């Protein structure tokens, strides 16, 4: 494999050994009760510590922020201690790890919400999607998402505080930084996109208003842990969970400019080739224009994810499209992915039936190549 993937990279205060990152991957295996990382999660991340950077699975900043069964949180002392064990294991192996901060917004269900209430969103609109809940038999099943309740200004302010506290908790847990999840149809993406934001106050309408919550959270988190320890993930042109924007070039170009002013560790963009966990054959061709626009306007480290192969990753780096490439499913099945790519070894194929929920099978039992 070309040396392109294996050049060191300065990311915030960290010197990464190469350009192969591990993308955030929801696996729904947090310990119960309490959504707490356990020994199986520690082993999973330890096995993959040769990644240049691990971005953890999406981790809810509050109970209100949960939308799927068995996903971890970072808002209780027990969760902080669980994640501390993860970070210590990764660091022992010489790895670097950022924790992804998550609020699902409307993509939730009353079973997860405090007091059994409705999920929250920019606007009370039907949601074209399902979420993952536990049935009476204790099995994970897909359930319809109800029409959410629109957030009040007070509710928005509380969420900004939740992100700030979660970032502090992540650093207390020994993480090297945090990534703010502002894509994939979840809360911050719901505010950004015109299709899901019908507000008439200062958080809706204009591009500036729809980007306001993201930037308030970026500023709050940066004030708490330092901007050089903060990344942001966006999914321009993404259609997952009903997303869509009337003027995506202007919207995401504006956001890239504003984020560029904040001296973040990196910006993480998801290519539109993947919608959820499946390949999208109908993505908008404007994406290529948008990514080049954002690359121009954001002068820091740019990470890309979404259906990359070793060859396409090499091409993206050599062409200046990105500075680092995040692999998802390849890391699920290949804990030693960087070595496999360097030595041009065959890759294991992931078993999609074990992606969400379960135990060790399909999680920590994928074999590395022999020493």
- Other CB atoms within 10 Å distance of the CB of residue 111: 12
Catalytic residue among 44, 45, 68, 186: 186
What does the angle CA 251 – CA 9 – CA 214 come to, to the nearest 5 degrees? 25
In sequence order, the β-bridge partners of residue 234 are: 269
Q: Where are the domains of the chain?
A: 3-354
Contact by Cβ (8 Å): 140, 28? yes
265: left (phi over 0), alpha (psi -120 to 50) or beta: alpha
- pLDDT of 358 > 60? The answer is yes
Amino acid 280: pLDDT? 58
Amino acid 27: pLDDT? 97
Burial 337-352 (b: 16+ CB within 10 A, else e): bbebbbeebeebebee
pLDDT band at 40 (very low <50, low <70, confident <90, very high): very high
Q: How far is 185 from 48, CA to CA, in rounded Å?
A: 27
Between 153 and 271, where is the model more confident?
Answer: 153
Q: How far is 257 from 83, CA to CA, in rounded Å?
A: 33
In sequence order, the β-bridge partners of residue 20 are: 325
pLDDT band at 282 (very low <50, low <70, confident <90, very high): low
- Other CB atoms within 10 Å distance of the CB of residue 154: 7
Amino acid 279: pLDDT? 56
CA 73, distance to chain mean position in Å, is 14
pLDDT in tens, 49-67: 999 999 999 999 999 999 9
Q: Is 211 helix (H, G, I), strand (E, B) or coil?
A: coil
Average pLDDT, the chain: 95
> Nearest Cα to 127, choosing from 209, 240, 211, 207?
240
Lowest mean pLDDT among 47-61, 279-293, 356-370: 279-293
Tell me what percent of the residues of the chain surpass a pLDDT of 70. 96
Contacts of 318 (CB under 8 A, 6+ apart): 2, 4
pLDDT in tens, 160-197: 999 999 999 999 999 999 999 999 999 999 999 999 99
Establish whether 186 is a catalytic residue.
yes
Angle of helix 212-225 versus helix 248-260 axis, rounded to 10: 20
Find the radius of gyration of the CA atoms of the chain.
19
Looking at the domain 3-354, which fold is it?
TIM Barrel (3.20.20)
Handedness of CA 142, 144, 149, 151 (dihedral sign): positive
pLDDT in tens, 312-345: 999 999 999 999 999 999 999 999 999 999 999 9
pLDDT in tens, 218-247: 999 999 999 999 999 999 988 889 999 999
What pTM, to 2 d.p., does this model score?
Answer: 0.96
């Amino acid at each position: 494999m070309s040396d392109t993937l294996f050049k060191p990279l300065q990311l915030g205060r960290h010197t990464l050994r190469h350009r192969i990152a591990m993308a955030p991957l929801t696996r729904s295996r947090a310990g119960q009760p309490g959504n707490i990382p356990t020994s199986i999660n520690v082993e999973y991340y330890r096995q993959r510590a040769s990644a240049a950077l691990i971005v953890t699975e999406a981790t809810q900043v509050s109970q209100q922020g949960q939308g799927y069964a068995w996903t971890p949180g970072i808002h209780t002392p027990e969760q902080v201690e669980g994640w501390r064990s993860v970070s210590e294991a990764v660091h022992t192996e010489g790895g670097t790890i950022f924790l992804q901060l998550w609020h699902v917004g409307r993509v939730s269900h009353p079973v997860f919400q405090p007091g059994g209430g409705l999920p929250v969103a920019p606007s009370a609109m039907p949601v074209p999607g399902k979420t993952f809940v536990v049935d009476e038999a204790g099995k994970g099943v897909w359930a319809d998402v109800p029409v959410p309740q629109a957030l009040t200004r007070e509710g928005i302010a509380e969420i900004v505080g939740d992100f700030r506290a979660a970032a502090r908790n992540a650093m207390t847990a020994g993480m090297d930084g945090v990534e703010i999840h502002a894509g994939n149809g979840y809360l911050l993406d719901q505010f950004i996109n015109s299709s899901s934001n019908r507000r008439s106050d200062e958080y809706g309408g204009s591009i500036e208003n729809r980007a306001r919550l993201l930037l308030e959270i970026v500023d709050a988190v940066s004030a708490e842990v330092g901007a050089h320890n903060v990344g942001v993930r966006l999914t321009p042109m993404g259609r997952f969970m009903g997303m869509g924007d009337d003027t995506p070039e202007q919207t995401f170009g504006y956001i890239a400019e504003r984020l560029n002013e904040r001296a973040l560790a990196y910006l993480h963009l998801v290519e539109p080739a993947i919608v959820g966990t499946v390949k999208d054959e109908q993505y908008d061709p404007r994406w290529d224009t948008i990514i080049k626009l954002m690359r121009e306007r954001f002068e820091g480290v740019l990470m890309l994810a979404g259906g990359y192969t070793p060859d396409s990753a090499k091409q993206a780096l050599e062409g200046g499209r990105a500075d680092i490439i995040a692999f998802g499913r390849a890391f699920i099945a290949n804990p030693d992915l960087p070595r496999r790519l360097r030595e041009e070894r065959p890759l294991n194929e992931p078993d999609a039936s074990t992606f969400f929920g379960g135990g060790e099978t399909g999680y920590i039992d994928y074999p590395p190549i022999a020493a």
